[in-house]
């Protein structure tokens, strides 16, 4: 049976995991092996924390070839904890954005001659599986909206269906509405990054485990975002071209852009305080760890300039 799996690695105990890291060049000078054992036992697991090592280069010289350059286990702990906080913040922001995008959609809908039903029939014709997918939730009795589904399953309108659509499906409805109706501002072409970041955060995916290429997907930043970053934030075209191809940097910057326009001031104020605490305090708590790491340092400086533009309180 084992022969069926190529490159199968053996199960590693925690001491085995530490031995494996030491053989890869990871040191335990700042965080001791005892600290690492405790952290691996109580706070995370090996496959996950090792993912942050992708941010670090490896030696190419013969006697050290393949070993990590200047990587202590403490650096992995720090990145892991920052990543957790960034995920929590990203999930909160994208969930808030989802709510206020629904508010915007229904507010704009109320100014049109749409009846609210025809557009949903068009959505169902575009996605034949959607209606049955929604109604299966009611049959399975697994949705918190099952009573709403039972009530409206033959009477879906734009104002009730938004309560049961996933964010991805809502984005499709949102795009359909603004394609049918001419509004000067819709942001319909900027919602994919919101959905992508929301999904990554909701599923607990690592966000900053790969700050160097190759990246998971190709990015084409919106014209409006690029223009604002250059003209208002003051970032150079060269730095935008270099850093905005990173999916998480791009998606988080897009969320900040939309958050500043769609979410009310009184909601933004509290969130901006949390963002400033994360980027201005926690992320630099162990700044000495990254003094000789250009990728991490430059990525931080880039996004921090964007955060400062959107989140700094007005004097």
Residue 127 backbone class (left: φ over 0; alpha: ψ -120 to 50; beta: rest): beta
pLDDT tens figures, 24-66: 999 999 999 999 999 999 999 999 999 999 999 999 998 899 9
Predicted confidence band of residue 315 (pLDDT cuts 50, 70, 90): very low
Instruction: Examine the domain organization and report whether 161 and 304 are in the same domain.
Output: yes
Is 41 among the domain residues? yes
Domain count for the chain, please give it.
Answer: 2
Neighbour count for residue 216 (Cβ, 10 Å): 12
Instruction: Examine the domain organization and report whether 47 and 90 are in the same domain.
Output: no
Structural domain including 20 reads: 11-74
Instruction: Examine the domain organization and report whether 148 and 213 are in the same domain.
Output: yes
Instruction: Examine the domain organization and report whether 176 and 301 are in the same domain.
Output: yes
Neighbour count for residue 187 (Cβ, 10 Å): 20
Is 186 among the domain residues? yes
pTM: 0.92
Is 3 among the domain residues? no
CB 186 within 8 A of CB 253: no
Instruction: Examine the domain organization and report whether 179 and 194 are in the same domain.
Output: yes
Q: Give CA–CA dist 217/89, Å, rounded.
A: 22
Instruction: Examine the domain organization and report whether 139 and 286 are in the same domain.
Output: yes
Q: Give CA–CA dist 290/70, Å, rounded.
A: 10
Query: What pLDDT, on the 0 to 100 scale, is given for residue 133?
Result: 87
pLDDT tens figures, 84-133: 999 999 999 999 999 999 999 999 999 999 999 999 999 999 998 998 88
Instruction: Examine the domain organization and report whether 174 and 294 are in the same domain.
Output: yes
Please name the residue that has the structure tokens 């001659």: 113
Q: Give CA–CA dist 272/307, Å, rounded.
A: 9
CB 72 within 8 A of CB 27: yes
Instruction: Examine the domain organization and report whether 189 and 100 are in the same domain.
Output: yes
Instruction: Examine the domain organization and report whether 65 and 104 are in the same domain.
Output: no
């Amino acid at each position: 049976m084992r022969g069926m799996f190529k490159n199968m690695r053996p199960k590693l105990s925690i001491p085995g995991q530490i031995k494996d890291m030491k053989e890869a060049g990871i040191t335990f000078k700042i965080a001791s092996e005892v600290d690492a054992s405790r952290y691996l036992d109580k706070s995370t697991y090996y496959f996950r924390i090792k993912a942050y090592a992708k941010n670090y280069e490896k030696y190419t010289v013969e006697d050290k070839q393949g070993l990590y350059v200047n990587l202590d286990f403490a650096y992995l702990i720090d990145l892991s904890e920052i990543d957790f906080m960034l995920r929590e913040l990203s999930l909160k922001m994208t969930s808030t954005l989802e709510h206020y995008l629904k508010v915007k959609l229904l507010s704009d809908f109320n100014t049109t001659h749409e009846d609210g039903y025809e557009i949903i029939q068009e959505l169902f014709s575009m996605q034949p599986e959607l209606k049955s997918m929604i109604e299966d939730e009611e049959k399975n009795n697994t949705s918190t909206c099952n009573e709403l589904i039972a009530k409206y399953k033959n009477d879906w309108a734009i104002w009730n269906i938004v309560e049961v659509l996933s964010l991805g499906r809502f984005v499709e409805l949102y795009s359909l509405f603004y394609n049918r109706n001419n509004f000067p501002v819709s942001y319909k072409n900027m919602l994919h990054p919101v959905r992508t970041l929301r999904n990554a955060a909701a599923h607990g995916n690592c966000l900053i485990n790969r700050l160097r290429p190759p990246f998971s997907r190709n990015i084409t930043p919106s014209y409006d975002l690029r223009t604002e970053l250059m003209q208002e934030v003051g970032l150079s075209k060269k730095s935008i071209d270099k850093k905005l191809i990173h999916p998480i940097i791009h998606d988080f910057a897009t969320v900040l852009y939309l958050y500043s326009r769609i979410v009310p001031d009184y909601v933004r104020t509290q969130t901006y305080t949390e963002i400033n605490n994360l980027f201005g305090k926690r992320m630099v708590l162990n700044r000495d760890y990254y003094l000789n790491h250009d990728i991490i340092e430059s990525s931080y400086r880039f996004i921090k300039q964007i955060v400062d533009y959107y989140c700094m309180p007005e004097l």
